[in-house]
Structure 1
């Protein structure tokens, strides 16, 4: 069975899109290209799963964000070296 849209319940597929993210320190926003997304065939909604959102949020807490320009690909962002082993500000688990 394929993906189901969280918005309308219709058929969806894996895709990519561009997202804009505010850095944790609030100094600026960056563009993240080629970000994994869910694309709905019925309602045309394009969105990130909760897992992808958490991966981005965690990574931005763990890296030196001053080394990121205005735009970066998702793969480049996720491959940047971490300064911390985990997100110590995440109390959800």
Structure 2
């Protein structure tokens, strides 16, 4: 399956790691998540995260104690933080 840019449908994309900025679920602050799997389009120059990565980040932030996160955390370290619940019981899409 060929992956295409979600913005321009180009097949000239590459997988990179980049920083993203995310608001915590309680709205108290935003954090920087470094080394996040990211898609970069070589045609339209858009840089974005796949829906799968977005959902992973949102679920993880919803299921952990966000008070233990500083202002900056790597994607891998974020995903390794133990969850308070096994799954997001408010997500009815899965």
Number of matched pairs:
93
> Structure 2, unaligned stretches of length 5 or more?
none
Query: RMSD over aligned Cα, in angstroms?
Result: 1.1
1:51 equivalent in alignment to 2:52: yes
Distance of 1:88 and 1:22 partners within structure 2? 20
Query: What do residues 19-52 of structure 1 show as CA deviations (whole Å, max 9, x unaligned)?
Result: 1111111111110011001110111111000000
Q: After superposition, where does 1:1-93 map in structure 2 within 5 Å?
A: 2-10=2-10, 11-93=12-94
> Structure 1 length as normaliser, TM-score?
0.94
Is the 1:2–1:12 contact (alpha carbons within 8 Å) kept by the matching residues of 2? Answer: no
Q: Which runs of 5+ in 1 are unaligned?
A: none
How far 1:3 sits from its partner (Å)?
2.9
Runs of 4+ in 1 over 6 A off after TM superposition: none
In 2, are the aligned partners of 1:31 and 1:70 still within 8 Å (CA)? Answer: yes
When normalised by structure 2's length, the TM-score is: 0.93
Asked if structure 2 preserves the Cα contact closer than 8 Å seen for 1:61 and 1:87, the reply is yes
